[in-house]
Structure 1
Amino acid sequence: MSPNHEANRNGKPVAVVVGATSKWQSDGRNTLLAHGRTLDDSDLPVGMRWSVGGAIAQKFAQEGFFVVLTTRQEANAAALAEAIREQGGECMTVELDLVSQDSIAAAFARIRREAGDPHVLVYNAGYLEGRDLPPEKELLEHIPVELFDTAQHIASRGPFLIAKEVLPAMRKRGEGSFFFSNNNKSLRGTKRKTGESLYYPRVTMRALAQVLTEEYSEHGVHVANVVIDGLIDSPGVRALPQAQRNPDSLINPVKIAEAFYYLHTQDRSCWTHELQLTPFPNKPSH
Protein backbone atom coordinates (compact mmCIF):
# COMPACT_ATOMS: atom_id res chain seq x y z
CA MET A 1 0.00 0.00 0.00
CA SER A 2 1.37 3.41 -0.93
CA PRO A 3 2.54 5.43 2.10
CA ASN A 4 0.87 8.47 0.52
CA HIS A 5 -2.63 6.98 0.87
CA GLU A 6 -4.86 8.96 3.17
CA ALA A 7 -6.99 6.63 5.26
CA ASN A 8 -10.75 6.91 5.26
CA ARG A 9 -12.83 7.19 8.41
CA ASN A 10 -12.44 3.42 8.87
CA GLY A 11 -8.67 3.86 8.92
CA LYS A 12 -8.23 2.35 5.45
CA PRO A 13 -7.95 3.63 1.87
CA VAL A 14 -11.05 3.03 -0.25
CA ALA A 15 -11.34 0.76 -3.30
CA VAL A 16 -14.60 0.77 -5.26
CA VAL A 17 -15.44 -2.15 -7.54
CA VAL A 18 -18.21 -1.26 -9.99
CA GLY A 19 -19.78 -4.55 -10.96
CA ALA A 20 -18.50 -6.58 -8.04
CA THR A 21 -20.65 -9.64 -8.70
CA SER A 22 -20.57 -11.94 -11.70
CA LYS A 23 -22.99 -11.13 -14.50
CA TRP A 24 -23.87 -14.82 -14.45
CA GLN A 25 -25.06 -14.55 -10.86
CA SER A 26 -26.40 -11.00 -10.64
CA ASP A 27 -30.01 -11.94 -11.28
CA GLY A 28 -29.66 -15.39 -12.82
CA ARG A 29 -30.98 -14.30 -16.23
CA ASN A 30 -27.75 -14.98 -18.15
CA THR A 31 -27.23 -18.35 -16.49
CA LEU A 32 -30.76 -19.42 -17.35
CA LEU A 33 -30.28 -18.10 -20.88
CA ALA A 34 -27.11 -20.11 -21.46
CA HIS A 35 -27.85 -23.23 -19.43
CA GLY A 36 -31.57 -23.32 -18.78
CA ARG A 37 -31.06 -23.69 -15.03
CA THR A 38 -29.31 -22.22 -12.03
CA LEU A 39 -25.80 -23.46 -11.26
CA ASP A 40 -24.20 -24.50 -7.99
CA ASP A 41 -20.92 -22.64 -7.46
CA SER A 42 -20.03 -24.22 -4.10
CA ASP A 43 -17.24 -26.31 -5.65
CA LEU A 44 -15.39 -23.20 -6.80
CA PRO A 45 -12.70 -21.74 -4.51
CA VAL A 46 -14.03 -18.66 -2.73
CA GLY A 47 -11.63 -16.37 -4.58
CA MET A 48 -13.10 -17.42 -7.92
CA ARG A 49 -16.75 -17.73 -6.99
CA TRP A 50 -17.81 -14.23 -8.10
CA SER A 51 -15.55 -14.01 -11.14
CA VAL A 52 -13.39 -10.94 -11.79
CA GLY A 53 -15.26 -8.36 -9.71
CA GLY A 54 -15.43 -10.57 -6.66
CA ALA A 55 -11.78 -11.61 -6.97
CA ILE A 56 -10.67 -7.97 -7.25
CA ALA A 57 -12.78 -7.00 -4.24
CA GLN A 58 -11.30 -9.80 -2.15
CA LYS A 59 -7.73 -8.98 -3.24
CA PHE A 60 -7.94 -5.31 -2.30
CA ALA A 61 -9.64 -6.15 1.00
CA GLN A 62 -6.81 -8.57 1.76
CA GLU A 63 -4.32 -5.79 1.03
CA GLY A 64 -5.89 -3.52 3.64
CA PHE A 65 -8.46 -1.54 1.67
CA PHE A 66 -12.01 -0.75 2.70
CA VAL A 67 -13.85 -2.15 -0.31
CA VAL A 68 -17.11 -0.83 -1.72
CA LEU A 69 -19.11 -3.34 -3.74
CA THR A 70 -21.56 -1.82 -6.20
CA THR A 71 -24.37 -3.87 -7.69
CA ARG A 72 -27.87 -3.28 -9.02
CA GLN A 73 -29.41 -5.01 -6.00
CA GLU A 74 -27.70 -5.24 -2.62
CA ALA A 75 -28.76 -8.87 -2.20
CA ASN A 76 -26.62 -9.82 -5.21
CA ALA A 77 -23.45 -9.04 -3.25
CA ALA A 78 -24.51 -10.38 0.16
CA ALA A 79 -22.55 -13.64 -0.10
CA LEU A 80 -19.45 -11.86 -1.42
CA ALA A 81 -19.57 -9.29 1.39
CA GLU A 82 -19.89 -12.10 3.93
CA ALA A 83 -16.87 -13.88 2.42
CA ILE A 84 -14.76 -10.71 2.61
CA ARG A 85 -15.66 -10.20 6.27
CA GLU A 86 -14.92 -13.85 7.05
CA GLN A 87 -11.46 -13.27 5.57
CA GLY A 88 -10.94 -10.34 7.96
CA GLY A 89 -11.65 -7.61 5.43
CA GLU A 90 -14.00 -4.64 5.61
CA CYS A 91 -16.56 -3.69 3.00
CA MET A 92 -19.94 -2.17 2.28
CA THR A 93 -22.44 -2.73 -0.51
CA VAL A 94 -24.01 0.13 -2.48
CA GLU A 95 -26.79 -0.22 -5.03
CA LEU A 96 -25.98 1.40 -8.37
CA ASP A 97 -27.78 1.24 -11.71
CA LEU A 98 -25.49 2.29 -14.56
CA VAL A 99 -28.36 3.28 -16.81
CA SER A 100 -29.42 6.01 -14.35
CA GLN A 101 -27.40 9.17 -13.77
CA ASP A 102 -29.38 9.81 -10.59
CA SER A 103 -28.53 6.34 -9.28
CA ILE A 104 -24.82 6.87 -9.96
CA ALA A 105 -24.83 10.28 -8.27
CA ALA A 106 -26.69 8.94 -5.23
CA ALA A 107 -24.39 5.92 -4.94
CA PHE A 108 -21.21 8.00 -4.91
CA ALA A 109 -22.70 10.56 -2.55
CA ARG A 110 -23.25 7.68 -0.14
CA ILE A 111 -19.75 6.28 -0.74
CA ARG A 112 -18.15 9.66 0.00
CA ARG A 113 -20.34 10.10 3.08
CA GLU A 114 -19.90 6.64 4.60
CA ALA A 115 -16.48 5.53 3.34
CA GLY A 116 -14.64 8.50 1.85
CA ASP A 117 -13.28 9.45 -1.55
CA PRO A 118 -12.07 6.41 -3.49
CA HIS A 119 -8.35 5.83 -3.92
CA VAL A 120 -9.02 3.04 -6.43
CA LEU A 121 -11.90 2.61 -8.86
CA VAL A 122 -12.21 -0.58 -10.90
CA TYR A 123 -14.88 -0.42 -13.59
CA ASN A 124 -15.88 -4.05 -14.12
CA ALA A 125 -19.42 -3.75 -15.47
CA GLY A 126 -20.29 -6.20 -18.21
CA TYR A 127 -23.25 -7.27 -20.28
CA LEU A 128 -24.47 -10.19 -22.37
CA GLU A 129 -27.23 -8.34 -24.15
CA GLY A 130 -28.56 -9.91 -27.32
CA ARG A 131 -27.50 -13.46 -26.48
CA ASP A 132 -31.14 -14.52 -26.40
CA LEU A 133 -31.69 -13.50 -30.02
CA PRO A 134 -32.24 -16.41 -32.40
CA PRO A 135 -29.44 -16.92 -34.98
CA GLU A 136 -31.53 -15.54 -37.80
CA LYS A 137 -31.94 -12.26 -35.84
CA GLU A 138 -28.29 -11.64 -34.95
CA LEU A 139 -27.62 -9.11 -37.73
CA LEU A 140 -27.53 -5.47 -36.63
CA GLU A 141 -30.70 -4.69 -38.60
CA HIS A 142 -32.71 -6.96 -36.28
CA ILE A 143 -31.30 -5.76 -32.93
CA PRO A 144 -33.78 -3.72 -30.86
CA VAL A 145 -32.59 -0.21 -30.06
CA GLU A 146 -33.25 -0.74 -26.35
CA LEU A 147 -30.61 -3.51 -26.29
CA PHE A 148 -28.10 -1.15 -27.87
CA ASP A 149 -29.03 1.51 -25.32
CA THR A 150 -28.17 -0.87 -22.49
CA ALA A 151 -24.83 -1.75 -24.06
CA GLN A 152 -24.03 1.92 -24.63
CA HIS A 153 -24.93 2.85 -21.05
CA ILE A 154 -22.69 0.16 -19.60
CA ALA A 155 -19.69 0.44 -21.91
CA SER A 156 -19.60 4.17 -22.66
CA ARG A 157 -21.94 6.49 -20.77
CA GLY A 158 -21.61 4.68 -17.45
CA PRO A 159 -17.82 4.95 -17.12
CA PHE A 160 -17.98 8.60 -18.24
CA LEU A 161 -20.41 9.44 -15.43
CA ILE A 162 -18.45 7.47 -12.84
CA ALA A 163 -15.21 9.14 -13.90
CA LYS A 164 -16.86 12.49 -13.22
CA GLU A 165 -17.69 11.30 -9.71
CA VAL A 166 -14.23 10.11 -8.65
CA LEU A 167 -11.56 11.83 -10.74
CA PRO A 168 -11.86 15.33 -9.20
CA ALA A 169 -10.87 14.07 -5.73
CA MET A 170 -8.06 11.93 -7.17
CA ARG A 171 -6.73 14.93 -9.07
CA LYS A 172 -6.84 17.16 -6.00
CA ARG A 173 -5.16 14.46 -3.89
CA GLY A 174 -2.49 13.99 -6.56
CA GLU A 175 -2.88 10.22 -6.73
CA GLY A 176 -5.38 7.50 -7.53
CA SER A 177 -6.06 4.53 -9.78
CA PHE A 178 -8.89 4.30 -12.30
CA PHE A 179 -8.91 0.94 -14.06
CA PHE A 180 -11.17 -0.50 -16.76
CA SER A 181 -11.90 -4.22 -16.98
CA ASN A 182 -12.42 -4.65 -20.72
CA ASN A 183 -12.44 -7.51 -23.21
CA ASN A 184 -11.05 -8.38 -26.62
CA LYS A 185 -13.99 -6.72 -28.39
CA SER A 186 -12.25 -3.44 -27.59
CA LEU A 187 -9.31 -4.44 -29.82
CA ARG A 188 -11.01 -5.89 -32.86
CA GLY A 189 -14.35 -6.99 -34.18
CA THR A 190 -14.85 -10.68 -33.59
CA LYS A 191 -14.12 -14.10 -34.99
CA ARG A 192 -17.82 -14.62 -35.41
CA LYS A 193 -19.51 -13.12 -38.46
CA THR A 194 -22.73 -11.99 -36.81
CA GLY A 195 -24.23 -11.32 -33.41
CA GLU A 196 -21.59 -8.94 -32.10
CA SER A 197 -23.02 -5.54 -33.04
CA LEU A 198 -23.81 -4.80 -29.41
CA TYR A 199 -20.17 -5.11 -28.38
CA TYR A 200 -18.53 -2.35 -30.37
CA PRO A 201 -19.15 0.20 -27.55
CA ARG A 202 -16.30 -1.64 -25.80
CA VAL A 203 -14.02 0.20 -28.24
CA THR A 204 -15.37 3.44 -26.77
CA MET A 205 -14.42 2.26 -23.29
CA ARG A 206 -10.86 1.70 -24.46
CA ALA A 207 -10.80 5.12 -26.10
CA LEU A 208 -12.03 6.71 -22.86
CA ALA A 209 -9.16 5.07 -20.98
CA GLN A 210 -6.73 6.56 -23.48
CA VAL A 211 -8.29 10.02 -23.15
CA LEU A 212 -8.25 9.92 -19.36
CA THR A 213 -4.61 8.84 -19.44
CA GLU A 214 -3.76 11.94 -21.46
CA GLU A 215 -5.79 14.23 -19.21
CA TYR A 216 -5.10 12.88 -15.72
CA SER A 217 -1.69 11.17 -15.66
CA GLU A 218 0.06 14.48 -15.03
CA HIS A 219 -2.19 14.91 -11.99
CA GLY A 220 -1.01 11.63 -10.48
CA VAL A 221 -3.95 9.46 -11.55
CA HIS A 222 -3.04 6.07 -13.00
CA VAL A 223 -5.54 5.08 -15.69
CA ALA A 224 -5.30 1.66 -17.34
CA ASN A 225 -7.36 -0.46 -19.70
CA VAL A 226 -7.08 -4.17 -18.88
CA VAL A 227 -8.04 -6.42 -21.78
CA ILE A 228 -9.18 -9.81 -20.53
CA ASP A 229 -8.72 -11.86 -23.67
CA GLY A 230 -10.47 -15.14 -23.00
CA LEU A 231 -13.09 -17.00 -21.03
CA ILE A 232 -13.03 -16.33 -17.29
CA ASP A 233 -13.43 -19.27 -14.95
CA SER A 234 -16.74 -18.82 -13.14
CA PRO A 235 -19.92 -20.86 -12.70
CA GLY A 236 -21.62 -19.77 -15.91
CA VAL A 237 -18.48 -20.16 -18.02
CA ARG A 238 -17.13 -23.39 -16.53
CA ALA A 239 -20.33 -25.18 -17.55
CA LEU A 240 -20.09 -24.11 -21.22
CA PRO A 241 -19.22 -26.90 -23.69
CA GLN A 242 -16.15 -25.09 -25.06
CA ALA A 243 -14.81 -24.58 -21.54
CA GLN A 244 -15.26 -28.24 -20.66
CA ARG A 245 -13.50 -29.28 -23.87
CA ASN A 246 -10.49 -27.07 -23.12
CA PRO A 247 -10.29 -26.14 -19.43
CA ASP A 248 -6.78 -24.71 -19.90
CA SER A 249 -8.34 -21.92 -21.94
CA LEU A 250 -10.07 -20.49 -18.85
CA ILE A 251 -8.48 -17.54 -17.04
CA ASN A 252 -8.31 -17.72 -13.26
CA PRO A 253 -10.04 -14.57 -11.86
CA VAL A 254 -7.74 -14.62 -8.80
CA LYS A 255 -4.78 -14.09 -11.13
CA ILE A 256 -6.66 -11.32 -12.93
CA ALA A 257 -7.18 -9.62 -9.56
CA GLU A 258 -3.46 -9.89 -8.83
CA ALA A 259 -2.77 -8.12 -12.12
CA PHE A 260 -5.07 -5.24 -11.12
CA TYR A 261 -3.35 -4.91 -7.76
CA TYR A 262 0.04 -4.99 -9.49
CA LEU A 263 -1.06 -2.06 -11.67
CA HIS A 264 -2.11 -0.11 -8.60
CA THR A 265 1.26 -0.63 -6.90
CA GLN A 266 3.38 0.35 -9.91
CA ASP A 267 5.80 3.21 -9.44
CA ARG A 268 4.60 6.30 -11.26
CA SER A 269 7.89 6.46 -13.17
CA CYS A 270 6.84 3.31 -15.03
CA TRP A 271 3.07 3.05 -15.40
CA THR A 272 1.30 0.54 -17.61
CA HIS A 273 -1.63 2.06 -19.46
CA GLU A 274 -2.88 -1.05 -21.26
CA LEU A 275 -2.48 -4.65 -20.17
CA GLN A 276 -3.71 -7.69 -22.08
CA LEU A 277 -4.25 -10.98 -20.24
CA THR A 278 -4.43 -14.11 -22.42
CA PRO A 279 -4.35 -17.80 -21.35
CA PHE A 280 -1.42 -19.76 -22.78
CA PRO A 281 -3.35 -22.04 -25.21
CA ASN A 282 -4.88 -19.04 -26.98
CA LYS A 283 -3.46 -16.71 -29.56
CA PRO A 284 -3.67 -13.10 -28.30
CA SER A 285 -6.25 -10.90 -30.01
CA HIS A 286 -5.05 -7.83 -31.85
Structure 2
Amino acid sequence: MSLVIVGAGPNLGLAIARRFGREGFSVGLVSRNQAKLDDLAGQLRSDGITAAAAAADIRDSDALAAAIRSLAGELGEVEVLEYSPLPAREFMKPILETTAADVLGPLEFSVLGAVAAAQAVVGPMLEAGRGTILYTTGGAAIKPYPLRAGVGISFAGEVAYARMLNEELAPRGIHVAHTAIAGRIAAGGDHEPADIAEVLWSHHVDRGAFQTAIGF
Protein backbone atom coordinates (compact mmCIF):
# COMPACT_ATOMS: atom_id res chain seq x y z
CA MET A 1 0.00 0.00 0.00
CA SER A 2 1.26 3.45 -0.79
CA LEU A 3 0.75 7.06 0.22
CA VAL A 4 1.45 9.94 -2.15
CA ILE A 5 2.01 13.40 -0.71
CA VAL A 6 1.55 16.32 -3.11
CA GLY A 7 3.41 19.34 -1.81
CA ALA A 8 5.88 17.31 0.24
CA GLY A 9 8.25 19.34 2.38
CA PRO A 10 10.46 19.06 5.46
CA ASN A 11 7.78 19.97 8.01
CA LEU A 12 4.27 18.58 7.57
CA GLY A 13 5.05 16.41 4.55
CA LEU A 14 7.91 14.60 6.26
CA ALA A 15 5.84 14.12 9.42
CA ILE A 16 2.96 12.61 7.44
CA ALA A 17 5.35 10.33 5.58
CA ARG A 18 6.83 9.08 8.83
CA ARG A 19 3.44 8.56 10.47
CA PHE A 20 2.06 6.49 7.61
CA GLY A 21 5.43 4.84 7.03
CA ARG A 22 5.35 3.45 10.57
CA GLU A 23 2.16 1.66 9.58
CA GLY A 24 3.83 -0.05 6.64
CA PHE A 25 3.02 2.43 3.86
CA SER A 26 5.43 3.09 1.05
CA VAL A 27 5.64 6.83 0.46
CA GLY A 28 5.71 8.82 -2.77
CA LEU A 29 6.71 12.48 -2.64
CA VAL A 30 5.75 15.19 -5.14
CA SER A 31 6.87 18.81 -5.25
CA ARG A 32 8.70 21.03 -7.71
CA ASN A 33 12.33 20.56 -6.57
CA GLN A 34 13.83 17.13 -7.27
CA ALA A 35 16.93 17.71 -5.14
CA LYS A 36 14.87 18.55 -2.05
CA LEU A 37 12.61 15.57 -2.72
CA ASP A 38 15.61 13.27 -2.98
CA ASP A 39 16.84 14.53 0.39
CA LEU A 40 13.45 13.87 2.01
CA ALA A 41 13.25 10.42 0.44
CA GLY A 42 16.74 9.67 1.76
CA GLN A 43 15.70 10.64 5.28
CA LEU A 44 12.70 8.33 5.05
CA ARG A 45 14.79 5.45 3.78
CA SER A 46 17.13 5.98 6.73
CA ASP A 47 14.06 5.45 8.92
CA GLY A 48 13.39 2.16 7.16
CA ILE A 49 10.52 3.52 5.05
CA THR A 50 10.27 2.70 1.35
CA ALA A 51 10.18 6.06 -0.44
CA ALA A 52 10.34 7.49 -3.93
CA ALA A 53 10.10 11.00 -5.36
CA ALA A 54 8.88 12.60 -8.58
CA ALA A 55 9.21 16.32 -9.29
CA ALA A 56 6.34 18.22 -10.90
CA ASP A 57 5.00 21.75 -11.04
CA ILE A 58 1.64 21.52 -9.27
CA ARG A 59 0.30 24.24 -11.58
CA ASP A 60 0.89 21.91 -14.55
CA SER A 61 -2.00 19.46 -14.21
CA ASP A 62 -0.67 16.99 -16.78
CA ALA A 63 2.79 16.89 -15.19
CA LEU A 64 1.27 16.46 -11.72
CA ALA A 65 -0.93 13.56 -12.81
CA ALA A 66 2.02 11.93 -14.59
CA ALA A 67 4.18 12.21 -11.46
CA ILE A 68 1.51 10.59 -9.30
CA ARG A 69 0.98 7.77 -11.78
CA SER A 70 4.73 7.22 -12.01
CA LEU A 71 4.95 6.83 -8.23
CA ALA A 72 1.98 4.46 -8.24
CA GLY A 73 3.77 2.35 -10.83
CA GLU A 74 6.90 2.22 -8.69
CA LEU A 75 5.33 1.82 -5.23
CA GLY A 76 1.97 0.20 -5.95
CA GLU A 77 -1.48 1.69 -6.36
CA VAL A 78 -2.16 4.69 -4.15
CA GLU A 79 -4.31 3.93 -1.11
CA VAL A 80 -3.94 7.42 0.40
CA LEU A 81 -3.47 10.74 -1.39
CA GLU A 82 -2.47 13.76 0.70
CA TYR A 83 -2.79 17.13 -1.07
CA SER A 84 -1.18 19.95 0.90
CA PRO A 85 1.07 22.19 -1.21
CA LEU A 86 2.20 25.41 0.44
CA PRO A 87 0.82 28.46 -1.40
CA ALA A 88 3.21 31.08 -2.72
CA ARG A 89 3.40 34.47 -1.03
CA GLU A 90 2.24 36.23 -4.18
CA PHE A 91 -1.13 34.47 -3.80
CA MET A 92 -1.81 36.55 -0.69
CA LYS A 93 -2.46 40.10 -1.88
CA PRO A 94 -5.10 42.31 -0.20
CA ILE A 95 -8.54 41.91 -1.74
CA LEU A 96 -8.70 45.44 -3.21
CA GLU A 97 -5.34 44.90 -4.94
CA THR A 98 -6.22 41.46 -6.28
CA THR A 99 -6.95 41.36 -10.00
CA ALA A 100 -8.44 38.58 -12.09
CA ALA A 101 -4.92 37.70 -13.23
CA ASP A 102 -3.79 37.43 -9.60
CA VAL A 103 -6.44 34.78 -8.93
CA LEU A 104 -5.28 32.50 -11.73
CA GLY A 105 -2.21 31.18 -9.87
CA PRO A 106 -4.07 30.29 -6.67
CA LEU A 107 -6.80 28.54 -8.66
CA GLU A 108 -4.25 26.50 -10.61
CA PHE A 109 -2.52 25.61 -7.37
CA SER A 110 -5.44 24.82 -5.08
CA VAL A 111 -8.27 23.83 -7.40
CA LEU A 112 -6.93 22.55 -10.72
CA GLY A 113 -4.11 20.75 -8.94
CA ALA A 114 -6.52 19.24 -6.45
CA VAL A 115 -8.69 17.91 -9.28
CA ALA A 116 -5.74 16.57 -11.29
CA ALA A 117 -4.32 14.78 -8.27
CA ALA A 118 -7.64 13.16 -7.40
CA GLN A 119 -8.27 12.07 -10.97
CA ALA A 120 -4.87 10.38 -11.05
CA VAL A 121 -5.81 8.04 -8.19
CA VAL A 122 -9.58 7.71 -8.08
CA GLY A 123 -9.92 5.12 -10.85
CA PRO A 124 -7.76 2.50 -9.14
CA MET A 125 -9.37 3.35 -5.79
CA LEU A 126 -12.81 2.68 -7.24
CA GLU A 127 -11.61 -0.62 -8.68
CA ALA A 128 -10.22 -1.61 -5.28
CA GLY A 129 -13.30 -0.37 -3.42
CA ARG A 130 -11.22 1.56 -0.89
CA GLY A 131 -8.99 4.60 -0.50
CA THR A 132 -8.54 7.94 1.24
CA ILE A 133 -8.06 11.39 -0.26
CA LEU A 134 -6.94 14.09 2.19
CA TYR A 135 -6.95 17.82 1.47
CA THR A 136 -5.08 19.98 3.98
CA THR A 137 -5.22 23.78 3.76
CA GLY A 138 -4.62 26.92 5.73
CA GLY A 139 -7.28 28.54 7.84
CA ALA A 140 -8.49 30.80 5.00
CA ALA A 141 -10.50 27.84 3.74
CA ILE A 142 -12.88 28.40 6.66
CA LYS A 143 -12.21 32.01 7.62
CA PRO A 144 -11.17 34.06 4.57
CA TYR A 145 -8.91 36.99 5.37
CA PRO A 146 -9.15 40.11 3.16
CA LEU A 147 -5.40 40.70 3.24
CA ARG A 148 -4.74 37.24 1.73
CA ALA A 149 -7.41 37.18 -0.91
CA GLY A 150 -6.03 34.66 -3.40
CA VAL A 151 -5.93 31.73 -1.00
CA GLY A 152 -9.32 32.68 0.46
CA ILE A 153 -10.82 32.32 -3.00
CA SER A 154 -8.91 29.23 -4.09
CA PHE A 155 -9.21 27.28 -0.84
CA ALA A 156 -12.99 27.77 -1.00
CA GLY A 157 -13.02 26.12 -4.42
CA GLU A 158 -10.76 23.30 -3.24
CA VAL A 159 -13.01 22.54 -0.28
CA ALA A 160 -16.16 22.63 -2.42
CA TYR A 161 -14.58 20.12 -4.79
CA ALA A 162 -13.45 17.90 -1.91
CA ARG A 163 -16.90 17.98 -0.31
CA MET A 164 -18.61 16.94 -3.54
CA LEU A 165 -16.00 14.26 -4.09
CA ASN A 166 -16.67 12.84 -0.64
CA GLU A 167 -20.42 12.76 -1.19
CA GLU A 168 -19.95 10.86 -4.43
CA LEU A 169 -17.23 8.46 -3.27
CA ALA A 170 -18.18 7.66 0.33
CA PRO A 171 -20.82 5.08 -0.64
CA ARG A 172 -18.16 3.36 -2.75
CA GLY A 173 -15.61 2.91 0.02
CA ILE A 174 -13.46 6.01 -0.50
CA HIS A 175 -13.17 8.62 2.23
CA VAL A 176 -12.39 12.25 1.36
CA ALA A 177 -11.56 14.67 4.17
CA HIS A 178 -10.52 18.30 4.56
CA THR A 179 -8.40 19.67 7.40
CA ALA A 180 -8.09 23.45 7.81
CA ILE A 181 -5.24 24.67 10.00
CA ALA A 182 -4.95 28.23 11.27
CA GLY A 183 -1.37 29.08 12.11
CA ARG A 184 2.13 27.91 11.27
CA ILE A 185 3.00 24.22 11.11
CA ALA A 186 6.61 23.73 12.19
CA ALA A 187 8.64 22.50 15.13
CA GLY A 188 8.21 25.20 17.74
CA GLY A 189 5.47 26.89 15.67
CA ASP A 190 1.74 27.08 16.30
CA HIS A 191 1.31 23.38 15.51
CA GLU A 192 3.79 20.53 15.69
CA PRO A 193 3.94 18.66 12.36
CA ALA A 194 3.67 15.30 14.12
CA ASP A 195 0.42 16.37 15.79
CA ILE A 196 -1.16 17.31 12.46
CA ALA A 197 0.11 14.08 10.94
CA GLU A 198 -1.72 12.20 13.69
CA VAL A 199 -4.96 13.99 12.81
CA LEU A 200 -4.55 12.96 9.18
CA TRP A 201 -3.82 9.36 10.15
CA SER A 202 -7.07 9.42 12.17
CA HIS A 203 -8.95 10.62 9.09
CA HIS A 204 -7.68 7.57 7.23
CA VAL A 205 -8.41 4.96 9.88
CA ASP A 206 -11.53 6.40 11.56
CA ARG A 207 -13.21 7.74 8.39
CA GLY A 208 -15.31 10.19 10.38
CA ALA A 209 -16.39 13.74 9.64
CA PHE A 210 -15.49 15.36 6.33
CA GLN A 211 -13.99 18.49 7.85
CA THR A 212 -11.69 19.21 10.79
CA ALA A 213 -10.69 22.74 11.88
CA ILE A 214 -7.57 23.26 13.99
CA GLY A 215 -6.38 26.45 15.68
CA PHE A 216 -9.52 28.56 15.33
TM beyond 0.5: yes
Is residue 2:210 matched to residue 1:273? yes
Shift of 1:142: 3.5
How much identity, in percent, do the aligned residues show?
25
- Separation (CA, whole Å) in 1 of partners of 2:155 and 2:51: 29
Cα shift readout 1:40-82 (whole Å, capped 9, x = no counterpart): xxxxxxxxxx111121112111221110011112112222212
Q: Count the aligned residue pairs.
A: 215
Question: Which amino acid is the alignment partner of residue 224 of structure 1?
Answer: A
Secondary structure, in 3 states, of the residue corresponding to 1:222? strand
Give the structure 2 partner of residue 201 of structure 1: 154
Give the structure 1 partner of residue 41 of structure 2: 81
Instruction: Say whether the 8 Å CA contact 1:19–1:70 is kept in structure 2.
Output: yes
Give the structure 1 partner of residue 29 of structure 2: 69
Is residue 2:107 matched to residue 1:170? no
Shift of 1:168: 1.3
Secondary structure, in 3 states, of the residue corresponding to 2:104? helix
Give the structure 1 partner of residue 106 of structure 2: 151
Write the mapping of 1:81-230 to structure 2, written as runs, cut at 5 A.
Answer: 81-130=41-90, 138-143=93-98, 145-190=100-145, 194-199=146-151, 200-230=153-183
* TM-score for the superposition, normalised by structure 1: 0.70
Is residue 2:200 matched to residue 1:260? yes
- Separation (CA, whole Å) in 2 of partners of 1:274 and 1:189: 16
- Separation (CA, whole Å) in 2 of partners of 1:101 and 1:80: 23
> Which sections of structure 2, spanning at least 5 residues, go unmatched?
none
- Separation (CA, whole Å) in 1 of partners of 2:149 and 2:214: 23
Secondary structure, in 3 states, of the residue corresponding to 2:78? coil
Supply the RMSD in Å over aligned alpha carbons.
Answer: 1.9
Instruction: State which structure, 1 or 2, has the greater radius of gyration over its C-alpha atoms.
Output: 1
Instruction: Say whether the 8 Å CA contact 1:129–1:198 is kept in structure 2.
Output: no
- Separation (CA, whole Å) in 2 of partners of 1:20 and 1:258: 16
Shift of 1:197: 1.6
Secondary structure, in 3 states, of the residue corresponding to 1:181? strand
> Which sections of structure 1, spanning at least 5 residues, go unmatched?
1-12, 22-49, 239-246, 279-283
* TM-score for the superposition, normalised by structure 2: 0.91
Instruction: Say whether the 8 Å CA contact 1:66–1:91 is kept in structure 2.
Output: yes
Question: Which amino acid is the alignment partner of residue 170 of structure 2?
Answer: S
Shift of 1:20: 0.8
Question: Which amino acid is the alignment partner of residue 164 of structure 1?
Answer: Q
Instruction: Say whether the 8 Å CA contact 1:129–1:147 is kept in structure 2.
Output: no
- Separation (CA, whole Å) in 2 of partners of 1:64 and 1:258: 15
- Separation (CA, whole Å) in 1 of partners of 2:86 and 2:101: 16
Question: Which amino acid is the alignment partner of residue 209 of structure 2?
Answer: T
- Separation (CA, whole Å) in 2 of partners of 1:165 and 1:255: 28
Question: Which amino acid is the alignment partner of residue 118 of structure 2?
Answer: A
